Amino acid sequence: MAGFGLLKRLVAGGERRHSEPRVRAPVATRVLVVDDSPTIRAVLGKMLSQDGYEVIGAADGESALELARDRQPHLVFLDIVLPGMSGFEVLRTLRREAATQLIPIVMISGNVQATEQFYVQRYGADDFMKKPFGRSEVFERVRQLVLAGRLPARTSVGQPLPPAGVSQAEWDAIPDIAMPDEAHVSPDVLAEPDAPPST
């Protein structure tokens, strides 16, 4: 039944895409994708790259903070459940630092507890996207950020290419729907964000 719900959302998203004008951020908008799942990073990266965005990826919170400081992304997709520093901790750190505090951040998670905690506490993120997600859901988040004035609107169309270091065959092999890897779904992931780690 869950598969039917996903299919219905994807089909509905496709219908909406054709009936409304497409609102997008400019070509070469730099997007940081933070997820410990290589599959999610690859699929989300492909979706964004195909629409002309420059994608950089991080597998953990510490790397994400370093990239955010050094590369100054225009948008961050940030998984809540990460090894070491949680996505909530990364979000709080980015919001505290002057150089990163205004970057739009979309939290993502496939963990039910993380999702519930996000909706209860919000933590200053701009939006939330639940795994699994499809292309229409990703671009709806970008669209909402553009409409809210958090990202500029695209005025020209560019030709997206596979990112450097990725062959066309590897690029074509990446699926169009992001499903979390089984190894990355952990039932014991959430403690209170400010609580010390359990021993």
Residue in 23, 69, 35 with CA at minimum distance from that of residue 184: 35
**Buried residues in 69-99 as b, exposed as e (16+ CB within 10 A):** eeeebbbbbbbbbbeebbbbbbbebbeeeee
**Is the residue at 101 inside a domain?**
yes
Region 110-138 average pLDDT: 80
Domain that holds residue 130: 24-149
**Is the residue at 189 inside a domain?**
no
Q: What is the pTM of this model?
A: 0.70
Using CA atoms, how far apart are residues 59 and 23, in angstroms rounded to an integer? Answer: 29
Region 72-90 average pLDDT: 95
**Is the residue at 90 inside a domain?**
yes
**Is the residue at 119 inside a domain?**
yes
* Phi, psi for residue 186 in degrees, rounded to 5: -115, 130
Region 94-103 average pLDDT: 96
**Is the residue at 110 inside a domain?**
yes
Work out how many domains the chain is built from and give that number. Answer: 1
Question: Is pLDDT at 197 greater than 50 in this prediction?
Answer: no
Each residue of 175-186: pLDDT tens digit? 766 666 655 544
**Is the residue at 176 inside a domain?**
no
Using CA atoms, how far apart are residues 44 and 83, in angstroms rounded to an integer? Answer: 19
Cα→Cα distances 136→100, 172, 183, Å: 27, 19, 26
Region 179-199 average pLDDT: 49
What is the C-alpha R_g of the chain? Answer: 16
**151 vs 112, higher pLDDT:** 151
Tell me the CATH number at 35: 3.40.50.2300
**Is the residue at 182 inside a domain?**
no
**Is the residue at 168 inside a domain?**
no
